[in-house]
Amino acid sequence: MLQLYILTLGLLPWIPASLCVVKTEEEFAVLEGQSLTIPCHYEPQYASHVKYWCQGRTKEFCTTLARTDDTSSDKVSIFDDPTQQVFTVTMKNLKEGDSGWYICGVEIGNMWKADDITFTNIKVIHGMSVPHSRVSGEEGSSVTVECLYSERYRESEKKWCRSGDWSSCLTGSGGSNEDTSVAISDDRTGAFTITLKKLQMRDTGWYLCSAGQQQIAVHVQVTPRTTTAVSITSPPAPQQSVLYLPPPKAIAKESWSSHGRMLEPILVCSSLMLLVGLVILGRKLWKLHKVDPVLRQVKDIKARFNEYPGDVGDLQSTTVVFINKDSQDVY
């Protein structure tokens, strides 16, 4: 019974670790000479606890490299953000010997409960890498490609070549090199950059970053230039005096009906006046038609006598008697 109790106490500290309360990625890969930052996430109840970064496969035999209560290390730094419940570890200038297992740990501080920890494996490799294996730019513009290399290739020759065309390689191991369309620059700190200028559609394709015998492929995509509409203005025409009239106003249905109501009495009055005028005109024409034909003959005789230069007074004193009693007037 005593042995079972001791065995239980021995396994108790490792139970929290199997629950993976602290979490991070299982594996990281980085080029030799580069820096690496590892995020370690924890539960809110551990916001005020001490966090640490330890190198080793087990908690009992790992080497502590950084703690949040001791930031004296130059190669490894640790920063805790309780608001986001994450602490980050940054390792600088990594060497091949830095490869191995590491522990993100939260210190609990009592014998009844072990620290909450999680493991990750870091691989420091030789060779090359690129942050972006595909880049794109618009026709006529420029685009920059960054190629990373490990420390052992610091002094190696750097090249930028079009895949399948080795005669197109541009070398930049002496610091920098440039022509009219491509510029290459090596800062000797683990990265060299290539700038493609004045891109053309034929520049689309695969290229190779090369350092020594190491190389990595990058695809460049050139997109067509964005066209903008250009307005063509004709020469100004001679100035002319033009009278601009305001556009006619739209007449609503209501206005038509109101005008119709106003025009009705006017049309009635006009019709009555026209009818009265026609009656008067007809009356006068009827009177003229009723005049005795004899009177017209007398007028003709008088007109004839007026044409003679003789004695007209005798004619004027002549009395004419009309038989028609309706016409008693003497002309």
223-279: per-residue pLDDT in tens? 998 876 555 665 565 555 444 455 555 545 544 455 556 666 677 777 778 888 888
Task: Choose the weakest-confidence range: 137-141, 144-148, 216-220, 260-264.
Answer: 260-264
Tokens 């049309």 belong to which residue? 267
Instruction: Return the percentage of the chain with pLDDT > 70, whole number.
Output: 67
Q: State residue 175's pLDDT score.
A: 52
Cα gap 189→148, rounded to integer Å: 9
What is the pLDDT averaged over residues 200-208? Answer: 93
Contacts for 292 with CB less than 8 Å, ≥ 6 apart: 322, 324, 326, 327
Q: Which comes out higher in pLDDT, residue 219 or 112?
A: 219
Query: Can you name the residues that pair with 118 across neighbouring β-strands?
Result: 104
- For the ranges 192-201, 279-288, 301-310, the one whose mean pLDDT is highest: 192-201
Q: What is the DSSP letter of 266?
A: H
Neighbours of 103 (CB within 10 A): 25
Q: State residue 293's pLDDT score.
A: 61
Neighbours of 102 (CB within 10 A): 26
What is the pLDDT averaged over residues 183-201? Answer: 89
What stretch of H or E contains 263? Answer: helix 253-290
The answer to whether residue 37 scores a pLDDT higher than 70 is: yes
For the chain, which domains are there? 13-125 (2.60.40.10), 128-223 (2.60.40.10), 276-317 (no CATH)
Which residue, 25, 105, 27, 96, is CA-closest to 65? Answer: 105
The answer to whether residue 178 scores a pLDDT higher than 50 is: yes
Q: State residue 202's pLDDT score.
A: 92
pLDDT, the chain, mean: 77
Task: Choose the weakest-confidence range: 72-81, 283-292, 294-303, 317-326.
Answer: 317-326
- For the ranges 66-75, 104-113, 202-211, the one whose mean pLDDT is highest: 202-211
Q: Which two tokens stand for residue 136?
A: 């794109």
Cα gap 204→162, rounded to integer Å: 10
The answer to whether residue 331 scores a pLDDT higher than 50 is: no
Query: Can you name the residues that pair with 64 across neighbouring β-strands?
Result: 54
Cα gap 184→161, rounded to integer Å: 11
Q: State residue 164's pLDDT score.
A: 86
172, with CB counted inside 10 A (0-12, 13-18, 19+), is: buried
3-25: per-residue pLDDT in tens? 544 444 444 344 443 445 899 99
Q: State residue 291's pLDDT score.
A: 58
Contact 130, 145 (CB under 8 A): yes
